[in-house]
Amino acid sequence: MEKLMARISREGDIHSGGVLKVDSFINHQIDPALMYDCAAELLDRFKDRNFNKILTIESSGIVPAVLAGYIAGLPVVFAKKTKPISMGKAYSTTIHSFTRDNDYEVMISEEFLTADDRVLFIDDFLAYGNAALGMIDICRQAGASIEGMGFLIEKKFQNGRYAIGKSDASVKVESLAIIESHLGF
């Protein structure tokens, strides 16, 4: 997607460890108009799929996921990193973050993900694919099917697409901007 790629070229910064900083329009300051266009483009790429719910993980994934949910008229569920005191039974999984070099747990209440759900997962980044694998695990626990996984930015050199394919070869993966190497596009 031309518009997103151009913005990354102009404002993105590659830091050590392959961290791409896009804090001025995605991860800290948000450009809602650009995010809306990204959400619409992701939906367009999955228009051949039949999904009834959009899934994401807090926090940055919430932005494109909610805008996609608004455009498509679908509910959005975001996996939570801390268990609210009022949460009942939940599916959970552990995700390893290479960026922070730590493990964190995410959970989705059993109320909001069931075997009737056909999910489109949307997130800001596809890096090593660990967050995506965690969501595949949670969907398996719930018996929900994953119709697709859409990302704003894919860091191709971290091979997340390969990791998703190994876990579930049937999942369609789309990314709006693909970064080929540590050095940039």
Buried b (16+ CB within 10 A) or exposed e, 145-173: bbbbbbbbbbbeebebbebbeeeeeebeb
Which positions from 107 through 166 interact with a copy of itself, judged by CB under 8 A? 108-109, 111-112
The two tokens of residue 97 are 């973050």
Site for a copy of itself contains 15 (CB under 8 A): yes
The alpha helices in 60-129, defined as continuous H runs, are 62-72
Query: Closest approach of Cβ 75 to a copy of itself, in Å?
Result: 6
Interface map 21-60 toward a copy of itself (x if CB under 8 A): x-xx--xxxxxxx-xx---------------------xx-
Q: Cβ of 88: how many Cβ atoms within 10 Å?
A: 8
Q: Which CB, 70 or 185, lies closer to a copy of itself? A: 70
Location of structure tokens 């697409």: 161
Taking CB under 8 A as the criterion, the residue among 44, 50, 84, 185 binding a copy of itself is 84
CA distance 149 to 42: 9
Judged by the rule CB under 8 A, the positions of this chain that interact with a copy of itself are 13, 15, 19, 21, 23-24, 27-33, 35-36, 58-59, 62-63, 66-67, 69-70, 73-78, 80, 84-87, 99-100, 108-109, 111-112
